[in-house]
Structure 1
């Protein structure tokens, strides 16, 4: 009886855990994105760069970007904004693969979301905010013009690296993820991407 009760309790606990991102998608995405971004940078500093001491200003820049942009602004883009721009997105994501292939309008909307995200959102918002956040947090005398000029010089390399990870990931996200799971899925993929970004630009 005790084993049955224990199994029932574990199922109840797991059910409660699974319900968190559904019932509280913004809060879940906000905290997950922030902690994940900080962890990715710490991982790169200690494992990849093998630093003896952590650069906490750099890590604070990544954490700030993770909490407020990835967890906040991206949530607003991927859920409320894209839901209004592409009202059929949630229904398309819930369909079976066979039904998706029959839904030309749904596939077009999925493709449009990918293009907007990768060719508008990331080049014009994500990267400028990242560079500015890093500049404001890390430097005692931040120069936003200088950091944006730095981004212009790095843009091609940054976007190519981004698209290698995010184009396939974004297709999966917009084609298959329910609306509540979009930010958690992005956060999971971003664990890899943020490590790459930290290695590329964290020490600049």
Structure 2
């Protein structure tokens, strides 16, 4: 039971979009003050999820929650043992201990370091500022063979704001292009009329 508690306390992975609104931000933490949470679904399917829990975090569970992840704990142990992240695995009951061959593994790392299987439960881990917390689903593997997340714990710049958003911010919404086009047309018409009148006068 003690071994199972440690194993279950070290686990995790989730889909490409967090489901808890108003919590965390997508991508790596932009500064070395928050905790970047990486969730690798492995063969559950879905893209690896990378979220930032900004600022100091009390423990590993707090980091996951503040990153915007939906969590389900195991029976009477609650979130001390993680059963599901973002509803996965969907077919797993959380009333009892998850099987060793189908459970989340819990990993930690410093920025630019290497993933290491955590030696403490998720509630016992106190994340250093700028660190990484990783969750990777292990299927049909023994505890010794649990795979780490396939994303390296290296903080990277996040994707820039879409061009559409920046264009909107610089636009007042007034159709200047239409106005300018109409002015050009009017100028051309007036110029044509003036040229025509001069030609008529010259022909007299």
TM bucket (normalised to shorter chain) is: under 0.3
Query: TM-score, normalized by length of structure 2?
Result: 0.27
Q: Given the two structures, how large is their TM-score scaled by the length of structure 1?
A: 0.27
More helix by share: 1
Which is strand-richer, 1 or 2?
A: 2
- Which one scores higher on RCO, CA 8 angstroms, separation ≥ 6? 1
